[in-house]
Amino acid sequence: MGECVGLDAIERRLGGMKRYILTYIDEVSDYAIAMAVPQLTSHTAKRFFETCFKLTPYTIEQVITDNGLRFESSIFKQKLAL
């Protein structure tokens, strides 16, 4: 477990407003976390990953994401380097 976790962002429209959900899933165990967020930014993604890191009961070895701007920013990549 923790060998490879995936992060993704989901955007939905509800009542004419955009809603966002960040998702985190361990590819081996299917351990998952999802969180509704007010906006999709690199700061939001970084805080979400920090929360997931604290809640995950094992060591995370590898993180995969899509090429979304929030995951490609230097702010987010600096967090992954720690």
Per-residue pLDDT, 66: 84
pLDDT digits (tens, 9 = 90+) for 37-54: 999 998 999 999 999 999
- At residue 46, what are phi and psi to the nearest 5 degrees? -65, -45
Per-residue pLDDT, 82: 57
Residue ranges per domain, the chain?
A: 4-80
Per-residue pLDDT, 44: 92
SS3 content of the chain, % helix, strand, coil (to 5): 30, 35, 35
* Between residues 75 and 27, the one the model is more confident about: 27
